[in-house]
Structure 1
């Protein structure tokens, strides 16, 4: 037992050190990639990355939330079967989005058209491959295999970035091909890690869940603690903290996007639409943070039938997202896809906002939790002043430098 505890302690220290230094290494590799690959390859890689994130969200998100809402052990078999349905759905959605990317969106220059088509289909195929591992990903999450998720994400991300950097260093004119190879290898590693780990766990003699019963997988009430009241206060504080942090990012990000990209990648990044993309991304991060906090609280207090109703609404929200993606990308290009994601976040925030607003206010909560979205007047005035000063410095000082 002492050896096991020593291994656990050393492993946690290793993960902590990796989590601290890993992002710095990956950031330097990404900077190396941005400098090495041509501007055209950079734009195409962004379009392929947007295809991957859009395809993954539309194909998997609703199934994942539905399966994680299961609280009874007798329904886990049905939940696993439900998640396996995401594989054919992912294949259909990937084919539809690949056609959208190839025929509806703007195409790259003729010299990279063949590689771009290959990249679109490889990205769509990798989404289907990763979807095939979703049943095991959800099972590992329900069994509290936190280290497995950390290791899997770390290995896949590092392998993708490192392999792409190595291939671009060898073949600078084939950035799209390097992106495809790196993505394919990382997706295959993700599937192998989850299948290999859980198969080994099932066949080992010490196969056991980290809880005594399946009912302990869900939230449990502790006598004498006002869970709803504490949850309301926590929601208010989290909304206040996240909204203020993201408002600071929006305030300075809008004016200093050009300067930041100039320092990050030189004139290569500022010549194209990267400045507009970064500004739109600042607004998207604000909506993403608010939606994450609201959805966490919503799912914590929802009953099972309410979760089922929310999952049905997610289907409608996915349709709205796909339609808005097609409209905005035609009108605004790459920025339109970020705007479509903003619309998706706004619709999800609206659904959660209505649910939380309809909850009865606990006597112990003096302030409604949703008021955390409203910054204090002094802070709002400071942000407006800082935004005006930043915009003025960009117009007068930065333009003269």
Structure 2
């Protein structure tokens, strides 16, 4: 394809990070408003119970199909008609899953107080309906990612969160007693935004692309034509759609079968893995919901602290993980040994894996070191004195900072493994995932009964340590055949680690002396220490930064040349 997969992946990660910051800022503002004005019980119902239902339905319905479809580029027997049909399966799958899930959420999970039950019931049905209709937009969303419409994704995600937030806040300001009703209504309206926006874009884009192709064949002055149309139609000769109708199921011609058997096999492998991964990702929320180990108020406290503790994961690690996964699926083929693939692409993929691991691990260590001194300050500014009273939120956030380091390494290494696993290897890993899941749930339940909410974090750390070990073992063995080891330089250097530890001690002294006297001085010291740490990392990794800047200039020069 004419698209630059690496450049698009990096651009997608950059835009996603900015979006995640925007999204989290809005979410934090809403959560703070609910904590201070509505109550923690409502926040526990919406952010733990209802969002867990949404996460369960969307993940189990589309994750396996979407990931398998991304890998279908390397399968020449799988055409676009089969991919579109496969993506549309997510809708009936979600509808079928919503029936038992609604029954479980309304009848089996720990009870909701009577004064909230009617709103809670409406919220469950609203979430299920929003998930079902949102999945009708999967085909255009998938197409936009494959053909690198990065800005479309950013605009749609931003509109989604902005409209959802505006609708929710407007209703709550009118009547604070119907907060859960407002949450459900906002979910439905924002899901409709995703559908309308994605289909409308391609409804307007495809005719203009076809017109550009026709005019390109007839004119001699290609420069003026490109100038008038812009760069959005360059390198799109392989775009196979002539109408939005082609994105509906069973519309494209020349399909011997509506589905591809190889793709189906890969989907089933991902599906089995997806169930286990969902348990590992949301395990603590399932334990909270099934067993009354924590009240809704305590669940809300844990959720707020968990969101803060996973800021780096949401802002930085998750976008980088998604973009890296996309890059690796498009660069390295499954079912083919690395020694039999393009050596330049394999070498580049190894370097990208090494550089990305080093970068996210450094970010994780920054969060861990400075989180030990600034957890209490952040929570005090966020929720007020009443929220931090008792010290539990501060203890939770400090432990979360340890989990950040493991999240950083696990996201990239496991993402690479999933992007390059064969169906057989995925099935093998599913057995390990089953063990990890059972161990995680048992540890979560037992540790929480012993030491409270901190037990969830410790269980999660153990789980991630197991998964990281397996991923590193897989990567080392895969690259051994070509005598390359991306893991050699994936950890930060000694100079950065030394300066980071020294800055951590300085910030602990600042916390003991300044936090109760002047929060501003304490924050300024933290900013200075962070700056020193970042400068040290930049100096130690100056060759990596030079390489990145050189690639950026090459890309910019290439785009300028195409325009001219």
> Normalised by the size of structure 2, how large is the TM-score?
0.55
Deviations 1:283-316 (A, max 9, x none): 554444334433554466x3xxx44445556866
Once the 2 structures are TM-superposed, how far is the Cα of residue 150 of structure 1 from its aligned partner?
1.2
Contact 1:277 1:335 in 2 (8 A): yes
Within the alignment, does 1:240 sit opposite 2:358 as a pair? yes
Partner of 2:374: 256
In structure 2, C-alpha distance between the alignment counterparts of 1:259 and 1:394, rounded to whole Å: 9
Partner of 1:75: 78
Taking a change above 3 Å as real, the CA distance of residues 290 and 379 of structure 1, as seen in their structure-2 partners, is same
Partner of 2:67: 65
Superposed, which structure 2 residues align to 1:156-235 within 5 Å? Answer: 156-202=160-206, 206=210, 210-213=235-238, 218-219=330-331, 226-235=344-353
User: Which of 159, 162, 185 is matched with 1:155 structurally?
Assistant: 159
Contact 1:105 1:329 in 2 (8 A): no
In structure 2, C-alpha distance between the alignment counterparts of 1:269 and 1:293, rounded to whole Å: 34
Contact 1:294 1:353 in 2 (8 A): yes
Q: Which moved more, 1:187-196 or 1:388-397?
A: 388-397
Contact 1:62 1:314 in 2 (8 A): no
In structure 2, C-alpha distance between the alignment counterparts of 1:311 and 1:51, rounded to whole Å: 26
Taking a change above 3 Å as real, the CA distance of residues 345 and 57 of structure 1, as seen in their structure-2 partners, is farther
In structure 1, C-alpha distance between the alignment counterparts of 2:435 and 2:348, rounded to whole Å: 35
Partner of 1:26: 26
What SS is found at the alignment partner of 2:72?
coil
In structure 2, C-alpha distance between the alignment counterparts of 1:243 and 1:181, rounded to whole Å: 39
Partner of 1:10: none
Deviations 1:63-86 (A, max 9, x none): 111000011565132223332333
Partner of 2:326: none
What SS is found at the alignment partner of 2:479?
coil
Contact 1:320 1:344 in 2 (8 A): no
Partner of 1:44: 45
Q: Which moved more, 1:332-341 or 1:355-364?
A: 332-341
Once the 2 structures are TM-superposed, how far is the Cα of residue 266 of structure 1 from its aligned partner?
1.2
Residue-pair matches, total: 378
Partner of 1:4: none
Partner of 1:360: 479
In structure 1, C-alpha distance between the alignment counterparts of 2:20 and 2:438, rounded to whole Å: 40
Q: State the Cα RMSD in Å.
A: 4.4
Within the alignment, does 1:293 sit opposite 2:412 as a pair? yes
Deviations 1:293-343 (A, max 9, x none): 33554466x3xxx44445556866886787678657755497777778767
In structure 1, C-alpha distance between the alignment counterparts of 2:418 and 2:436, rounded to whole Å: 21
Taking a change above 3 Å as real, the CA distance of residues 102 and 354 of structure 1, as seen in their structure-2 partners, is farther
Superposed, which structure 2 residues align to 1:305-320 within 5 Å? Answer: 306-309=421-424, 312=427
Taking a change above 3 Å as real, the CA distance of residues 82 and 91 of structure 1, as seen in their structure-2 partners, is same
Once the 2 structures are TM-superposed, how far is the Cα of residue 363 of structure 1 from its aligned partner?
7.8
The runs of 5 or more residues in structure 2 that have no matched partner are: 1-14, 214-232, 241-328, 334-341, 519-564
Partner of 1:110: 114
Once the 2 structures are TM-superposed, how far is the Cα of residue 149 of structure 1 from its aligned partner?
0.9
Q: Which moved more, 1:81-90 or 1:178-187?
A: 81-90
Taking a change above 3 Å as real, the CA distance of residues 232 and 386 of structure 1, as seen in their structure-2 partners, is same
In structure 2, C-alpha distance between the alignment counterparts of 1:244 and 1:169, rounded to whole Å: 42
Once the 2 structures are TM-superposed, how far is the Cα of residue 185 of structure 1 from its aligned partner?
1.1
Contact 2:332 2:345 in 1 (8 A): no
What SS is found at the alignment partner of 1:226?
helix
In structure 2, C-alpha distance between the alignment counterparts of 1:26 and 1:245, rounded to whole Å: 23
In structure 2, C-alpha distance between the alignment counterparts of 1:317 and 1:98, rounded to whole Å: 30
Taking a change above 3 Å as real, the CA distance of residues 19 and 85 of structure 1, as seen in their structure-2 partners, is closer
Q: Which moved more, 1:19-28 or 1:233-242?
A: 19-28
Once the 2 structures are TM-superposed, how far is the Cα of residue 153 of structure 1 from its aligned partner?
0.3
Deviations 1:321-374 (A, max 9, x none): 876786577554977777787677666645543331112358896xx3224454
Q: Which moved more, 1:271-280 or 1:225-234?
A: 271-280
In structure 2, C-alpha distance between the alignment counterparts of 1:279 and 1:113, rounded to whole Å: 34
Taking a change above 3 Å as real, the CA distance of residues 354 and 123 of structure 1, as seen in their structure-2 partners, is farther
Taking a change above 3 Å as real, the CA distance of residues 118 and 19 of structure 1, as seen in their structure-2 partners, is closer
Structure (1 or 2) with the larger CA radius of gyration: 2
Taking a change above 3 Å as real, the CA distance of residues 205 and 57 of structure 1, as seen in their structure-2 partners, is closer
In structure 1, C-alpha distance between the alignment counterparts of 2:23 and 2:432, rounded to whole Å: 33
Deviations 1:4-39 (A, max 9, x none): xxxxxxxxxxx99x9699569736743445433322
